[in-house]
Amino acid sequence: MLKVINLETTYNDIILALKGVSLEVPPNRIVTVLGANGAGKTTTINTISGIRKTLDLAIEDGSIEFEGQVINEREPHQVVSMGILQVPEGRRVFAELTVDENIIIGSYTLQSRSHYLRNRESVLGYFPILKERGSQLAGYLSGGEQQMLVIARALMPEPKLIMMDEPSLGIAPLVVKEIFQIIDRINREKHVAMLLVEQNANVALSIAHHGYIMENGRVVMEGPSEVLKEDRDIKEFYLGLSEMGAKKSFRDVKHYKRRKRWLS
Ligand SMILES: Nc1ncnc2c1ncn2[C@@H]1O[C@H](COP(=O)(O)OP(=O)(O)O)[C@@H](O)[C@H]1O
Ligand SMILES: [Mg+2]
């Protein structure tokens, strides 16, 4: 469905942020892109979304294809109308508007009131708390509820692909778990493909089908989630398991150093 091939992008014509990134999102799948701060995750989805001018972000090489069409030159509104919706980092709700009004803003492309009402019913079915809070100001919601609201808003126009930028950031672990279970259900029931950018590898791999690991503007590893979850390098670097802690053996250290060189 989405194919990114050898993508190279620069900021301000000089800073090479993506150094040949390739990745794919098949229909109906959840694909995660994992990586530390500065790896190039946000740059990747902004480039796909066409948000380039305001960032002085330019494609130098490679291509982005969606359903067989090259979309390198598309403007953000054109990318949206092809069915690709981005949920940016930092749960940007319209704080001075009510929950309902935020949902309405996500629905302006829908042609009829009955269509709007139908989608609203279906989307809010996943987020009962938002239904209860319909007339409250979005700014007064908890962080987790605001994250739910931006996901709900993005679902209203029935996108084919949703790209989410670190939806777990700054949200309590239990609520993160709840939100990811809902994302998983939405994917299975609504057949929306998802590109899920995360630093929280544990939770992302728990629902993703496939994952990519990015470092320094490159994909350094990829595979099915089951494989990545068991990979010792991923455990060491991203899952935060303390396998390398107290019981560190010489062999493990050697292994660690070798991998560290390879990843840098
Ligand atoms: N607006 C910008 N102008 C210049 N450089 C940027 C800008 N945004 C990000 N970068 C650089 O691009 C690289 C990738 O950043 P980013 O895509 O935000 O990483 P991530 O989302 O994985 O944390 C970093 O080196 C970062 O400093
Ligand atoms: Mg980012």
Ligand 2 centre from 135 Cα, in Å?
A: 32
Ligand 1 centre from 23 Cα, in Å?
A: 19
Question: Of 8, 171, 23, whose CA–CA distance to 89 is shortest?
Answer: 171
Domain spanning 2-92+159-227: which superfamily?
A: P-loop containing nucleotide triphosphate hydrolases (3.40.50.300)
Task: Please give the mean pLDDT across all residues of the chain.
Answer: 90
Provide the residue ranges of all domains of the chain, joining segments of one domain with +: 2-92+159-227, 231-264
Between CA 106 and CA 159 the distance in angstroms is 11
Between CA 188 and CA 199 the distance in angstroms is 23
**If pLDDT is split at 50, 70 and 90, which confidence band does 245 have?**
very low
Whether the predicted pLDDT of 243 surpasses 80:
no
97-101, 138-142, 198-202: the lowest-pLDDT one:
198-202
Per-residue pLDDT tens for 93-115? Answer: 999 999 999 999 888 888 899 99
Which ligand number lies closest to the CA of residue 33?
A: 1
Cross-sheet strand order for the sheet of 57-66: 15-25, 2-11, 57-66, 69-70
pTM above 0.85, yes or no: yes
**If pLDDT is split at 50, 70 and 90, which confidence band does 18 have?**
very high
Which DSSP string do the residues of 5-66 spell out, in sequence order? EEEEEEETTTEEEEEEEEEEE-TT-EEEEE--TTSSHHHHHHHHHT--GGGTEEEEEEEEEE
Q: Which residues contact 53 (CB under 8 A, 6 or more apart)?
A: none
The whole-number pLDDT of residue 248 equals 45
**Any atom of ligand 1 within 6 Å of the Cβ of 39:** yes
CA 165 from centroid of its chain's CA atoms: 4
Structure token digits, residue 107 = 């629905």
